[in-house]
Structure 1
Amino acid sequence: MGNLAFTYSRLGEFKKAQELQIVVLEKRKQFLGDNHSETLTAMGHLANTYRYLGEFKKAQELEIGVLEKQKQFLGDNHPVTLTAMSNLASTYNNLGEFKKAQELQIVVLEKRKQFLGDNHPDTLGAIGNLACTYGDLGEFKKAQELEIVVLEKKDTVLG
């Protein structure tokens, strides 16, 4: 069911994906518990689908739960935790809560630099996300500076 929901998402059929993801999440909670990694993954997938459907409050609720549990079980520095933090930041952007998004994105960026280095694609993605948020906040000079960094690093790394 999860695989079919993923395929529906890839096809842009988010309502169909949502229906299946809700069932998958309920079953995972029932059989694996609320804190199992597969349950948290199902929550994250459903949150992403809610975001695509424009249901940002529902996405936010799930993403906050996922982030709290990932921090608890994996720690603040784990890549899965950082992805959950980045997803929540995206939802905050969608909700117009740019300062909250900025705070999370700065943490993600610092940790990605620390553990992956300045040139890793995930680090560059984090820089780009923060640049977009600075633009949303009207801080265009900061956005420009970060976008130049991303461009130069991608040019150097990828050619």
Structure 2
Amino acid sequence: MKNTPHVFLDRNNNITDPKLFAQLQQQQLWRMQEKVALFNALGPEHPGTIDAMLRLADLKTQLQDFDEALTLTKEAYELRSRVFGTKDKETQEAYISLADAYLNDGNPVQAKKIAQEILTNSNALDLDDFLMELDAKEILADAHQDLKEFSSETRVRRELVADMEQIYGPNHPDTVMSVGTLAASLQGNGQPLQAIPLYQRVLEQMKAEQDFTSMVEILIALSLCYQENGQKDQALENAREAVHLSRNLLGDSNESTMNALKNLAEISMNGESPTPAGIML
């Protein structure tokens, strides 16, 4: 009987074994390279060839081969533009993928330029159009962040939250993640008072979902916000709650517990603690 490796999944059905995940990614990459080769027999401008190139680029991105991902995405976009025109919806989606590829490859200026062009020319008529706008805004916000254009970044992130609330609703995971990203941006740029109610909103949602790891991370972030705002009592209260929650539900050896203990010690001693760049939900 063939041995089947045990696949460990988290609450979102993501594989948690790094070695197995890498093996599966490599297998996907080989299969997609084979597909590209097969479709190329039909010609480089065949729709299947272009789609396979974009999927291969996505796999390259997951493997952090950003240069190759950018090369593939650029070629796929140029082919789609030549065959179907720049106004074609799937061509526009490829253009958004190109902006993302530039961002991942360390070129936020070009990513920003493409995202702004997409949004300027956008005339959303259906849900797919609105979703493309959301993708473009997210890339634009990330580009502003990389370029240290804080006021522009937070403006776009606020728009993203409002758009997601309208399209998905206030409690949708993508909306909540967007709120958390906005909070982290505000905190990281010296506006902890504005970040606090946003973190509190995310915390309530994580409590409802019983996502204990995220709850601990947000409580730590809240404690740092209160500390930066000179509210030590509230900072200590949130830091202690993070430790209590993490110890009871995640265990003393859990990484989140160790982070919570370190944070509590630093706040108790009035030590300075680095502000997190983001909260992973």
TM, length-normalised to structure 2: 0.52
How far residue 154 of structure 1 moved from its aligned partner, in angstroms, is 1.8
Count of aligned positions: 158
Counterpart of 1:91, as a letter, is A
Q: Is the 8 A contact 2:96 2:135 kept in 1?
A: no
Structure 2 vs 1, CA of residues 74 and 132 (structure 1 numbering), >3 Å: closer, same or farther? Answer: farther
- State how far apart, in whole Å, the 2-side matches of 1:126 and 1:6 are: 22
- State how far apart, in whole Å, the 2-side matches of 1:67 and 1:154 are: 32
Whether 1:142 and 2:194 are equivalent positions in the alignment is yes
Whether 1:93 and 2:145 are equivalent positions in the alignment is yes
Corresponding residue of 1:119: 171
Percent of residue pairs identical? 27
Q: Which moved more, 1:120-129 or 1:139-148?
A: 139-148
Counterpart of 1:97, as a letter, is E
Corresponding residue of 1:12: 64
- State how far apart, in whole Å, the 1-side matches of 2:131 and 2:54 are: 22
**Equivalent residues in 2 for 1:34-113 (5 A)?**
34-69=86-121, 71-74=122-125, 78-113=130-165
Structure 2 vs 1, CA of residues 48 and 158 (structure 1 numbering), >3 Å: closer, same or farther? Answer: farther
Counterpart of 2:63, as a letter, is L
How far residue 11 of structure 1 moved from its aligned partner, in angstroms, is 0.8
Structure 2 vs 1, CA of residues 149 and 73 (structure 1 numbering), >3 Å: closer, same or farther? Answer: closer
Counterpart of 1:147, as a letter, is Y
Q: Which moved more, 1:80-89 or 1:2-11?
A: 80-89
1:28-81 residue CA offsets vs partner (Å, 9 max, x unmatched): 111111121111111111211211121110111111122223x32447982321
Structure 2: runs of 5 or more not aligned: 1-52, 212-281
Whether 1:151 and 2:203 are equivalent positions in the alignment is yes
Q: Is the 8 A contact 1:18 1:46 kept in 2?
A: yes
Q: RMSD of the TM alignment (CA)?
A: 2.0
Structure with bigger RCO (C-alpha 8 Å, 6+ apart): 1
Larger radius of gyration: 2
SS of equivalent to 2:171: coil
Runs of 4 or more, structure 1, over 6 Å off, are none
- State how far apart, in whole Å, the 2-side matches of 1:10 and 1:107 are: 28
- Higher share in helix: 1
SS of equivalent to 1:72: coil
Counterpart of 2:188, as a letter, is D
Q: Is the 8 A contact 2:111 2:139 kept in 1?
A: no
Corresponding residue of 1:31: 83
Structure 1: runs of 5 or more not aligned: none
How far residue 157 of structure 1 moved from its aligned partner, in angstroms, is 2.8
TM, length-normalised to structure 1: 0.89
Q: Which moved more, 1:9-18 or 1:103-112?
A: 103-112
